[in-house]
């Protein structure tokens, strides 16, 4: 009989103790995105969507923040709080969507539409944020675009979120970028229809990064935090979940009497799953990897992020 599962359990407990000790020693705050592994969400001080976490870091009293998420999120935390030390436990944890646009290509688009405002989804690099007029997240994108005086808007880089915003604000012309989330694009309408037949009493909740034909089947569309709030307030007892599998941890913890179905086994963001207890412990121990960006880029990107925070409030 193998002893490995028992060893894994003991090792995880050892790592958790180490993380708690180091956190105290370093006076650090651990924040984790809703897509992180269960054990990372469990040990974090704060969990949330990208908007809530960006806000939480600005309000934190600790000088060090460990960001369990992907690079663009840790960069936003650094941009909004440049005096704090922001650590990303795994340096390679990126976001393919953020890499689907470059500053050079965005500049070309701006030249093509000089009268348009540029709205940049936070799932983007700091350089692209610096080149934009205002940022948005999936929880405030409609509000942000609606707040603009310009009738024409270049919306980057997620075309699915952009299309969703466009449907809500037909009076504005939205020029969409051809970017998409490789994880959310995996979900097909056929899979959702199949699950709806299997679970006729379930509601379907979806992230706006999903395909148009998938969003058309949704009872609720929103950010990961929006989904958590919706499920808590709903009298429905079963849900088909249209976003990355990590959210199931909070959904189940907050709603023990409700059932959740994941329509595809492919709903895993490999980058989000790179952060493990071992890497988190190492991050605190060695104080790595510190987010650093050129000062002028921070200044410009900060304007876009702060403008978003001003419009969307607390
Ligand atoms: P939220 O803003 O809803 O947390 O989503 C972030 C994200 O990366 C979605 O794929
Ligand atoms: Fe990027 Fe998609 Fe992963 Fe979100 S789920 S971090 S958009 S790849």
In a domain, residue 291? The reply is: no
Q: Given pLDDT bands bounded at 50, 70 and 90, which one contains residue 313? A: confident
Q: How far is the CA of 96 from the centre of ligand 2 (A)?
A: 7
> What pTM, to 2 d.p., does this model score?
0.96
Mean pLDDT of 1-29: 89
**Domain check: are 245 and 282 in the same one?**
no
- Residue 117 and residue 130: Cα distance in Å, rounded? 13
**Domain check: are 153 and 189 in the same one?**
no
**Domain check: are 135 and 199 in the same one?**
no
What DSSP designation does 273 have?
G
**Domain check: are 23 and 79 in the same one?**
yes
Domain boundary among 150, 181, 212: 181
**Domain check: are 71 and 147 in the same one?**
no
Contact 301, 126 (CB under 8 A): yes
CATH number at residue 132: 3.40.50.10800
Interval 244-262: pLDDT, tens: 999 999 999 999 999 999 9
Mean pLDDT of 300-304: 98
pLDDT of 3 reads 65
**Domain check: are 13 and 80 in the same one?**
yes
- Residue 153 and residue 173: Cα distance in Å, rounded? 6
- Residue 27 and residue 64: Cα distance in Å, rounded? 7
**Domain check: are 136 and 196 in the same one?**
no
Strand (E) or helix (H) holding 105:
helix 103-112
- Which atom of ligand 2 is nearest the CA belonging to 69? 6
Interval 175-199: pLDDT, tens: 999 999 999 999 999 999 999 999 9
What DSSP designation does 91 have?
T
In a domain, residue 312? The reply is: no
Can you point out the beta strands (E) in 53-210? 64-68, 85-87, 117-121, 134-136, 152-156, 173-176, 203-206
Can you point out the beta strands (E) in 125-263? 134-136, 152-156, 173-176, 203-206, 220-221, 238-242, 259-261
- Which atom of ligand 2 is nearest the CA belonging to 271? 3
Contact 153, 173 (CB under 8 A): yes
Range of the domain at 222: 184-268
In a domain, residue 296? The reply is: no
- In short, whether 96's Cβ falls inside 6 Å of ligand 2 is yes
pLDDT of 66 reads 98
Q: Compute CA distances 281 → 5, 25, 28, 270, whole Å.
A: 21, 12, 12, 20
- In short, whether 181's Cβ falls inside 6 Å of ligand 2 is yes
In a domain, residue 81? The reply is: yes
Q: How far is the CA of 10 from the centre of ligand 1 (A)?
A: 32
Residue of minimum CA distance from atom 8 in ligand 2 = 95
In a domain, residue 192? The reply is: yes
In a domain, residue 292? The reply is: no
Does the pLDDT at position 314 exceed 90?
no
Which ligand has the minimum distance to the alpha carbon of residue 208?
1
Burial (0-12, 13-18, 19+ Cβ within 10 Å), 139: buried
Q: How many structural domains are present in the chain?
A: 3
Contact 74, 29 (CB under 8 A): no
Classify 121 as helix, strand or coil: strand
In a domain, residue 261? The reply is: yes
Mean pLDDT of 206-227: 98
**Domain check: are 233 and 278 in the same one?**
no
Q: Any residues with Cβ below 6 Å from ligand 1, and which?
A: 34, 49-50, 123, 137-138, 181, 207, 209, 223-224
**Domain check: are 279 and 259 in the same one?**
no
In a domain, residue 245? The reply is: yes
Nearest by Cα to 30 from 270, 174, 197, 18: 18
């Amino acid at each position: 009989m193998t002893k490995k599962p028992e060893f894994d359990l003991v090792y995880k407990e050892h790592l958790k103790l180490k993380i708690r000790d180091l956190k105290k020693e370093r006076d650090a705050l651990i924040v984790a995105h809703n897509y992180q592994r269960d054990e990372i969400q469990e040990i974090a001080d704060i969990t949330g969507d990208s908007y809530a976490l960006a806000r939480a870091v600005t309000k934190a009293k600790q000088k060090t923040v460990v960001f369990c998420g992907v690079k663009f999120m840790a960069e936003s935390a650094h941009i909004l709080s440049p005096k704090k030390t922001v650590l990303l436990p795994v340096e390679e944890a990126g976001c393919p969507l953020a890499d689907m646009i470059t500053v050079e290509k965005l500049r070309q688009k701006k030249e093509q539409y000089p009268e348009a405002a540029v709205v940049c989804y936070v799932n983007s690099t700091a350089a692209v944020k610096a080149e934009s007029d205002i940022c948005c997240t999936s929880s405030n994108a409609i509000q942000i675009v609606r707040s603009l005086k310009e009738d024409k808007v270049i919306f980057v880089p997620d075309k699915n979120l952009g299309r969703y915003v466009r449907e809500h604000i037909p009076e504005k012309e939205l020029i969409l970028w051809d970017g998409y989330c490789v994880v959310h694009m995996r979900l097909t309408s056929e899979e959702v229809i199949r699950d709806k037949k299997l679970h006729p009493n379930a509601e379907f909740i979806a992230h706006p990064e999903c395909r148009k034909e998938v969003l058309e089947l949704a009872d609720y569309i929103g950010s990961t935090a929006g989904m958590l709030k919706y499920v808590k307030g709903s009298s429905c007892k079963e849900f088909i979940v249209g976003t990355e599998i990590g959210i199931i941890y909070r959904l189940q913890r907050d709603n023990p009497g409700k059932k959740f179905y994941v329509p595809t086994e492919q709903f895993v963001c490999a980058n989000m799953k790179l952060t493990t207890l071992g890497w988190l412990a190492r991050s605190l121990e060695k104080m790595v990897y510190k987010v650093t960006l050129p000062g002028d880029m921070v200044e410009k990107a900060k304007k876009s992020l702060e403008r978003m925070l001003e419009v969307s409030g607390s």
